[in-house]
Amino acid sequence: MGLGLTNIATINQAQTLSPQVQLTIKLLSLNNVELESYLEKKIEDNPLLIEKQNTKERELRIQKFTDKYSRNSSNLDLLNNISYAKSLREHLLDQLLISRMNNKEKIIATYLINILDEAGYLTENDEIICTKLGIDAEVYEKILISLQNFEPTGVFARTLSECIYLQLREKNLINEELSELLANIELIADDNYKELTSRLNICKEDLFKLINVIRKCNPKPGLNYSRDTLEIIAPDIIIEKNSSGVYAIRLIQNYFSNITVDQTYSDIILESKKKKDEFITNHYRDAKMLISSIAQRQRTLLKIAYEVMLQQRGFLENGINHMRPLNLDKISKMTNLHISTVSRSIQNKFIETPRGTFEMKYFFDKGTYGEEQDMQISSKTIENRIKELIKNETPSNILSDDKIVNLLKKYDINIARRTVAKYRTKLNILPSSKRKNRYL
């Protein structure tokens, strides 16, 4: 058999999405704020896209805004209402600038400032810092001591105990008992007061006095100066209950609801089609496709939100203890939408309800069967029931996981002890043996 090159033709079937479908999928994954930013860019790039002006609506919206925030002012300059606050890093660098450190020490100090976390703690251990900077421990310790005298007191600490110690030292409150308590600070977090009284050899009243001194300190001094990004939660959907007790659902009508094709160009568009002018015809096609995709996005969101509302009506009426388990597959079947479409639609979307504003994903929750096998119970409901039971326990009746299992049965919740322990751990609730330690 001879060797050689041959051409072999094969036929493969491949499914590709049209540009229209691809755009609709992209818009579905955006929330209202993201969609506005996306459309602002599109309007800049496409001269055929404009926003329909609704003078009455615009005037009403502005009037409502100024009434709330500026009383009788007709012009609101938001920039005049923004006060600039220095970040923790800027605040410390200002102090470093006027410190008596030499240039080499200031370079090292700048590095230490840059590795602080938001709370003001060093994020690397001493050995790693010395190795990275090529300095010995004595030089490092000298610079660190100087920096620990900066404001706010407590920054540049390596542990919570050290952070509290620095603040107590500044107030001249440090004594032998407080030093011993700081060395055992993890027992305070566990509410293990019994062990603390034993280690410090003091009575309960004296222990609580010491703990109250510590609690007046700030465990995260850097947060007073950190400038976090302001996250604005803008709901995409609103669920309201009218006076008749009927729930109504509506989409937020942002400015993108008024995006349209500029009809002043209609003659130019017709002429361009005849002459096959790609510049105008492509912009016209893109504009129509965008408007169609926005409309499809809105219809899809409304359909999904409506089914979610129907499924979680118990939550809307009576709160979290009446949340129902819900998954993507169930909504997919009810809406006749692909499960991937449902998944994209609920990403980063928020619903404003009479009970508050929630991320749409909040209403999707796994569950377990209750005592009655045809009734499923949401995991959020189970978590809340466990929190309520532990919140209402008394010093003489600390609830073990086994007791919680039995108490949950009266709510038709039938779960194992290890499941209770799993939920309790998730809620950051200590086991009963450690919760007892807070009571002496």
Q: Within 10 A of 16 (CB to CB), how many other CB atoms are there?
A: 7
C-alpha 190/C-alpha 323 separation (Å) is 32
Q: Does residue 141 contact residue 147 with C-beta atoms inside 8 Å?
A: no
Q: Does domain 372-438 have CATH number 3.40.50.300?
A: no
- Residue 111: partners with Cβ closer than 8 Å, 6 or more residues away: 129, 132, 133
Q: Residues 188-226: pLDDT tens digits?
A: 877 778 888 888 888 888 888 888 888 889 999 988 875
402: amino acid identity, one letter? D
- Within the chain, which residue ranges are assigned CATH 1.10.10.60? 372-438
Q: Which of 195-204, 342-351, 430-439 has the lowest mean pLDDT?
A: 430-439
Nearest to 382 by CA among 299, 297, 320, 315: 320
C-alpha 170/C-alpha 162 separation (Å) is 12
- Residue 38: partners with Cβ closer than 8 Å, 6 or more residues away: 27, 30
Nearest to 386 by CA among 372, 368, 407, 358: 407
* Mean pLDDT computed over 323-342: 92
pLDDT at res. 438: 64
Q: Which long-range contacts (CB under 8 A, 24 or more apart) does 421-428 make?
A: 423/379, 423/382, 423/383, 423/386, 424/386, 424/390, 426/383, 427/383, 427/386, 427/387
Q: What is the DSSP letter of 231?
A: P
Q: What are phi and psi of 264, to 5 degrees?
A: -65, -15
Q: 201 or 63, which is more confident?
A: 201
Q: Does residue 32 contact residue 254 with C-beta atoms inside 8 Å?
A: yes
Q: pLDDT category, 78, cuts 50, 70, 90? A: very low
Which tokens hold the place of 279?
A: 């510049």
Q: Does residue 154 contact residue 164 with C-beta atoms inside 8 Å?
A: yes
**What is this structure's pTM?**
0.60
pLDDT at res. 375: 62
Nearest to 26 by CA among 297, 271, 274, 261: 297
Q: Does residue 285 contact residue 273 with C-beta atoms inside 8 Å?
A: no
pLDDT at res. 37: 86
Which H or E element spans position 432? helix 432-435
Q: Residues 152-167: pLDDT tens digits?
A: 999 999 999 999 999 9
* Virtual torsion, Cα 27, 31, 36, 41, nearest 10 deg: -50
Q: Of the spans 56-60, 84-88, 228-232, 351-355, which averages the highest pLDDT? A: 351-355
Q: Which of 46-55, 123-132, 226-235, 244-253 has the lowest mean pLDDT?
A: 226-235
Chain mean pLDDT for the chain: 81
String of b and e for 195-233 (b: at least 16 CB within 10 Å)?
A: ebbeebebeeeebeebeebbeebbbbbbeebbeeeeeee
Q: What is the DSSP string of 329-374?
A: HHHHHHHT--HHHHHHHHTT-EEEETTEEEEGGGG-B-EEEBSSTT
